[in-house]
A and B are shown apart, each in its own frame.
Chain A
């Protein structure tokens, strides 16, 4: 348990570095130079020295409490995730379903904080965020349940544990039809990622050009810094979930590493995998596509992404029932 503050600090630092990399890569894709990697750290330092305004229309207790809850719950998710192939710190006391539930908390805290800030822009943003959450939750649940069922039908106990799923390596459990199905589920999960993290093209809840920052419109100073950190940690959490389910490969055996060497290699490999997932899931998407309207978000998630996920589910089911044809 002494590891908890260490892991929390590491998750925050890694999340901020990921944000820095994301900004540089996005800038390079737009033929710009972009800020230094340390830019998010500078932003945080600056936000912490700024005035923390609580608007007169707001409900101060809820308004000030929600950023703390958001960051705390985002950090809690990290403790339930297998990082770099190691069992999660809280292994045994919670599984994939719990992770999906806690993952809702940061967004929910932002919604409640938005409603509590007493601004019409924040209210619009909060309602949009709720609609987005309801839309992406279904394909996310399909993906989670399908992989867990696949792992359980392969004879693993505790199949809803992310660590079991990560060590079982879902790609090794299926035949060619199942491979296609898993690939579709992987794509569906990558679609969910920018929605979960409120990034373009699914950021209509925070659209600064139309509703002035949406949920966060009244937040300033320390509270805004906490939401900024929440976003960073959530990026790590979401990328780690995708890595654990669909990219559970380890590099140690490949090069014949052992002991400490192997641990170091796994951690480096995990960092590279997360950077790759973040690049595909958020950076590339947000540079390549413009922002969707809220109606289009619902259509994309409940229509297209759900269709992809259901097709994946059907193919994986067929594969398991037919015995890996």
Chain B
């Protein structure tokens, strides 16, 4: 999947649903000079209303599950959801904890899972590219 398929203006909103902050630091690392995702037109925005991509980290605690759903609904279409880290995909080390509503796909539809604890910034960037390619395929099929 070539990088040219990526729509070159992705605004990313980051939702922390109870993550240990490991994945969040890797997301910030992707913004820094070494990876510099602004090269591809991506930037972090402060409001889900401005976002195209939801980067969701964490295993979704009970406290966060309604809020995650609300953030998903607040994001304008077309949108993409990416679960970053093992916790978001399976619960990770918090698997079957009594205070979890997750993983993420119990609450909102997830387009791409980026695995790792935490995943490397390359993996996160790759995940965003794949998610957008998937969305384009979906739009083309319509």
Chain A contact residues, CB within 8 Å of chain B: 23, 27, 30-36, 39, 42-43, 45-46, 49-53, 121, 207-209, 211-213, 216-221, 224
Chain B contact residues, CB within 8 Å of chain A: 7-9, 32-33, 36, 38-41, 44-47, 49-50, 52, 74, 76-78
Contact B39 A35 (CB under 8 A): yes
Contacting residues, chain B, for A52 (C-beta < 8 A): 76
Contact B77 A27 (CB under 8 A): no
A51 to B: closest C-beta gap in Å:
4
Number of A-B residue pairs with CB-CB distance less than 8 Å in the complex they form: 75
Q: Which of B38, B46, B49, B77 contacts A35 (CB 8 A)?
A: B38
Contact A31 B33 (CB under 8 A): yes
Q: A34-B39, A46-B7, A53-B76 are in contact. List 15 more A-B contacts (CB 8 A).
A: A31-B33, A32-B39, A33-B36, A35-B38, A36-B41, A42-B9, A51-B77, A51-B78, A53-B49, A207-B46, A208-B45, A217-B46, A218-B47, A220-B50, A224-B49
The answer to whether residues A32 and B38 also contact, given A39-B9, A42-B9, A221-B76 and a CB cut-off of 8 A, is yes
- 10 interchain residue pairs of minimum CB distance: A208-B46, A51-B76, A213-B47, A220-B49, A213-B46, A46-B9, A42-B9, A32-B36, A220-B76, A51-B77
Contacting residues, chain B, for A33 (C-beta < 8 A): 36, 39
> In the complex, what distance in Å separates the CA atom of A30 from the CA atom of B40?
16
Contacting residues, chain A, for B33 (C-beta < 8 A): 30-32
> In the complex, what distance in Å separates the CA atom of A30 from the CA atom of B46?
21
Contact A46 B47 (CB under 8 A): no
A19 to B: closest C-beta gap in Å:
13
Contacting residues, chain B, for A209 (C-beta < 8 A): 46
